[in-house]
Amino acid sequence: MLTSLCNNFDCSPFFQTIEMCGRFACALDPATICRACQYTAPDGQLYQPIWRENNSAHSYRASANVAPINYSPVLVSAQHFDVGTDPATTSGRILDHPEVKVSTVENQRIVMPMRFGLIPSWHKGGENELRIATINCRVEGIMQKNAFAGALKRRRRCVVLAEGFYEWEKLQSNVKQPYLLYLTDMPQKYFEQKAKREDSEPPYGNREVLPEQLMKLAAIFDVWHNAENNTIYSFSIVTCEPSKATVWIHDRMPAVLRTEEEVNRWLDSAHLSSEEALKLCIHAVDDLHWHPVTRAMGNATYKGADASVPISPTEAGNAGKPLDPGQPKIVAFFSKTRKTKQEVVKQEDSAPLRVIGGGEASLDKEASTLPPGQSSITAFFPSDHGNSSQPPAKRTRKE
């Protein structure tokens, strides 16, 4: 499920290529994010996490097209920080809701920007010189991966906050159509009302998101110090087998924490080991909707507000070869073949993480060296392009 990257970086060869769950949307301002992360503590009181700026040279920039090496907000327990000496984690004000309290140190949660793409604490070299893919970590075998071992041993678990994540469907002539997948609690009109293309400077207006609408993705984070001794916080999104609702577009999906109880358990590093948290919290979810979006967002540097705005099924299906004369567009749109899941898995296992200038990236590439080759995503899009959670019947294109 994640192209030349990103705005202000001279990317290394590793970052010139990527694929699988590697893009998501988070175009919300800090105050809105904190309100949507309110939670009930063990004392029965409603609390709101505190926003903490990253102490590195990088800060959060709201974006409908978050790509690897961008900084985006994550929810994390204050147990990982020295809250007694760090005023950034112990001070703050509650916004708009006087009934919401600042939590105690024991129960406190923090929202802070972290770098997308985990840098292991043992890494030697520059920030963009890591030669392994760490934007995602597969739940299967995650405990045996050296890149993630340190973070898991220290129980460094966090929650990535997003409006939705992107996946790509392969159309005819190797053209790939991006789709935004989001929770069923989020109405499609929310994205239809996004700012127009010319309103490109985030944040994109005062948009409100309810706690049940904000997508929460299970992730792990690590802490790394560069040559200048700056502290870099970075994360990797946990992925699992797809649900029945999403297998049509990819054979992996990010692990969505669907309930408050799952979020509580995932963040509870004081009482749950990483092994226990993985068993209790990581699973596929079915209650997702999706819609096609502009292919312009396939370029990781594209930060237009319309990246998550729905486009028509006709526009989404007009890619690749010109339509046959006289063939209705709607017929051509549904005339696509689909590889089996076994074929996709076999192809993925032999391919590196790859992202090319105007290409796409996708959310599941665990730590591995980068052999030659390139994988692809094949899928079949359901007949209901708006809000659907049922995959379509398989159709076959005439050769």
Which pLDDT tens digit goes with each residue over 30-79? 999 999 999 988 888 899 999 988 765 678 999 999 999 999 999 999 88
pLDDT of residue 395: 42
Q: Which of 105-119, 167-181, 273-287, 310-324 has the highest mean pLDDT?
A: 273-287
pLDDT tens by residue, 364-398: 444 444 444 433 333 333 333 344 444 444 444 44
**Active site includes 348?**
no
pLDDT of residue 228: 85
DSSP 180: E
pLDDT tens by residue, 109-164: 999 999 999 999 999 988 888 888 899 999 998 999 999 999 999 999 999 999 99
Look at residues 41, 107, 43 and name the one whose alpha carbon lies nearest to residue 78: 107
| Structural domains in the chain, sorted by start | 13-349 (3.90.1680.10)
Burial (Cβ within 10 Å: 0-12, 13-18, ≥19) of residue 394: exposed
Catalytic position from the list 21, 26, 240, 281: 21
Who has greater pLDDT, 315 or 215? 215
Burial (Cβ within 10 Å: 0-12, 13-18, ≥19) of residue 255: buried
Q: Which pTM does this prediction carry?
A: 0.73
Who has greater pLDDT, 270 or 398? 270
The alpha carbon dihedral of 353, 357, 359, 360 has a sign of positive
Whether 196 shows a pLDDT value over 70: the answer reads: no
pLDDT of residue 358: 40
Phi, psi of 330 (to 5 degrees): -65, -35
Catalytic position from the list 127, 167, 169, 366: 167
**Contact of 126 with 225, CB cutoff 8 Å:** no
Average predicted confidence (pLDDT) for the chain: 74
**Active site includes 167?**
yes
pLDDT tens by residue, 153-177: 999 999 999 999 999 998 877 889 9
